[in-house]
Amino acid sequence: MDLEILKIASDTNNCKSIKNYTHFSKLKNPICGDEIQIELIIEKNKITDFGYQGKSCIYCNASANLVTKNFKSKSRGKIKTFLKLLDQFNDKENILFPNEWKDFKKVFDKKNFSRKECLTLPIKALKKII
């Protein structure tokens, strides 16, 4: 296992419940059983608070942590642009992330493609809201 993924997943600052959330999504991965729940507060088209909880593997936790850290104070439009970029995730070549999203290079790497369903579960939960 990549130590960088372990390091990202161990940051649990955003692993929390949000009181008075405005948006909520919960998904379960039918393949492995990972579960993720995200809660957001969206005000004036921007995410002002973002928390997640779940029973999931290290890959899903790392992805959820990156999403919550990087999407706070971002507009829905900016997030939708990023989500389209992730559609390119495959096992042939790495995604060329803009500098703004460089942290995602550490997780969404072709060497981790076999864990795609785990990595994209928080993204799919967010897509239901955005």
pLDDT in tens, 71-128: 988 888 899 899 989 988 999 999 999 998 899 998 999 999 999 999 999 999 999 9
pLDDT of residue 72: 87
Tokens representing residue 51 in the block: 């928390």
How many other CB atoms are there within 10 angstroms of residue 7's CB atom?
12
Q: Is the pTM of this model over 0.85?
A: yes
CA–CA dist 26, 53 (Å, integer): 9
